[in-house]
Amino acid sequence: MQREIIAQLADWKRSKRRKPLLLEGSRQVGKTWVLKEFGRLHYKNTAYLAFDEHPELNRLFATTKDPKRIIENLTIISEQPILPETTLLIFDEIQEAPEALSSLKYFQEQAPQYHLACAGSLLGVALAKPASLPVGKVKIIKLHPMTFTEYLRATGETGLAEYLPNISAIEPVPEVFNGLLFEKLKAYFITGGLPESVLVWSETRDVRQVQDVLRDLLAMYQRDFQQHAPKSLFPKIEHVWASLPSQLSRENKKFLYSLVRPGARAREYEDAIQWLTSAGLAQKVYRLSAPGLPISAYDMLDAFKLYLLDVGLLRRHARLAPSAFAEGNRLFTEFKGAMTENYLLQALRPQFDAQPRYWAQDNPHREVDFIIQYENQIIPVEVKSGEAVRSLSLKKYREKYAEKTGLALRFSQKNLSCDNGLLNIPHYLADQTARLIALAAV
């Protein structure tokens, strides 16, 4: 597999102001593999230490914060030299070792010549705790599930994978590619972007094995609730997690606590939702009161949608059988288009600094699926599951905020085009969105 994040890690290596690296991301997005592969490609040797397998390592950091002494001890343990500049030192599952996490400050201040990269399956949960992160002393990079382009490359579709990032003009994609890419995207909706699922599909083309992988991943996430969340929170997390397919199956996908449990209140479940989002298993999209900068200043904190980290997981969690692959556009339209929305959010999130929002108004109800910030532009995003693209909500939004809306986006099964400030992007180009916006502005 080739992951595009390797290029970001290479930039980190070359930086003159390099800090210890924290590679954050949910379990099974490929953090350990990425760091080891980065070490193999860019360093003479790699020293790998896993704190979940060797919890006694944390005691080394409890007795001293001197990076030189720590390196000496780790050299003995790893049985290999750990040298400045030429060795990549990897601390895996660092959330299991709070003392090691706090030591990153001293590596940044006293031993920046060592290249130290850390990862953890529940690192986001650890970092959400007060005083757990040496602020300003680390570089945080987020790893997401594989993009559709990465999926194409991993499944042997090298030509298509090279074609997408080289589209250099806003003009229709040749039909020979357009139809084929939509068919490949259906397969991506089946597997999702988690590396193990993609690997099994690339090696076997057996949907039953993909189903087994995704089932096991869902079971593993639920075990994490029980093992790593506070005991008082565990049943609430389970209830929220179980409700997500039904939350997204509604026309109005605003999160309803009544779907978690009859009579449930926000104050009872907000910590459970926070745990899921910190763990990277769910993505929270706030409603925006109006388009403005900074975008976070206009969040309506009591109104939000909650999506899963991966479209393949959503499909499996909702028990939508892979046979839908052969049923026309059903994968795109199922659950009132929730599969397509989840995929779009998954594709958009890594490309923009700010988490996407959504916009809605009441009486009459109007809703724009996502709002993104591109540089200093606030851009409305409409998601259409098929070729029917008429959208009264987007039309009303553009009329209401005409002075603030230079460009609007629509994702659909129509071909790439831009007309009257509306950029239509076919679903399969979603992970190229930021680049296409730049092309449309030329």
pLDDT value of residue 130: 63
Asked if residue 152 is part of any domain, the answer here is no
What is the biggest distance separating any 2 CA atoms in the chain, rounded to whole angstroms?
69
Domain range holding 356? Answer: 168-441
Assess whether the previous peptide bond of 364 is cis (omega < 30° from 0): yes
pLDDT digits (tens, 9 = 90+) for 164-178: 999 999 999 999 999
Asked if residue 161 is part of any domain, the answer here is no
Q: Are residues 241 and 119 in the same domain?
A: no
Q: Are residues 382 and 418 in the same domain?
A: yes
Q: Are residues 119 and 212 in the same domain?
A: no
Q: Are residues 135 and 231 in the same domain?
A: no
pLDDT value of residue 131: 60
Asked if residue 36 is part of any domain, the answer here is yes
**Residues 339, 341, 342: CA angle, nearest 5 degrees:** 65
pTM of the model: 0.95
pLDDT digits (tens, 9 = 90+) for 193-251: 999 999 999 999 999 999 999 999 999 999 999 999 999 999 999 999 999 999 999 98
Asked if residue 310 is part of any domain, the answer here is yes
Tokens representing 218 are: 């869902």
Nearest partner of 260 among 281, 277, 235, judged by Cα: 235
Taking the chain (442 residues) in runs of 10, the rounded mean pLDDT of each run is: 96 96 95 98 97 89 93 93 97 92 94 96 80 80 97 98 97 96 96 98 97 98 94 96 95 95 96 96 97 95 97 96 79 84 97 96 94 97 87 95 96 96 97 98 78
Burial class (CB in 10 A: 0-12, 13-18, 19+), 284: middle
Within 8 A by CB and 6+ apart from 153, the residues are 1, 2, 161
Tokens representing 242 are: 């179980």
- Residues 141 and 12 sit within 8 Å (Cβ to Cβ): yes
Within 8 A by CB and 6+ apart from 441, the residues are 407
Asked if residue 279 is part of any domain, the answer here is yes
Last residue of a domain, one of 142, 177, 210: 142
- Residues 253 and 341 sit within 8 Å (Cβ to Cβ): yes
Helix (H) or strand (E) holding 367: strand 366-374
Q: Are residues 200 and 133 in the same domain?
A: no
Q: Are residues 58 and 201 in the same domain?
A: no
Asked if residue 163 is part of any domain, the answer here is no
Q: Are residues 122 and 202 in the same domain?
A: no
Q: Are residues 131 and 186 in the same domain?
A: no
Q: How far apart are CA 240 and CA 181, in angstroms?
A: 34
Q: Are residues 136 and 172 in the same domain?
A: no
Last residue of a domain, one of 79, 107, 142: 142
Q: Are residues 131 and 12 in the same domain?
A: yes
Q: Are residues 114 and 174 in the same domain?
A: no
Q: Are residues 185 and 265 in the same domain?
A: yes
- Number of domains composing the chain: 2
pLDDT value of residue 136: 86
- Residues 419 and 405 sit within 8 Å (Cβ to Cβ): no
What CATH number has the domain bearing residue 9?
Answer: 3.40.50.300
For the chain, the C-alpha Rg in angstroms (whole number) is 23
Q: Is the CA virtual torsion 431, 398, 342, 32 positive or negative? A: positive
Asked if residue 402 is part of any domain, the answer here is yes
Asked if residue 99 is part of any domain, the answer here is yes
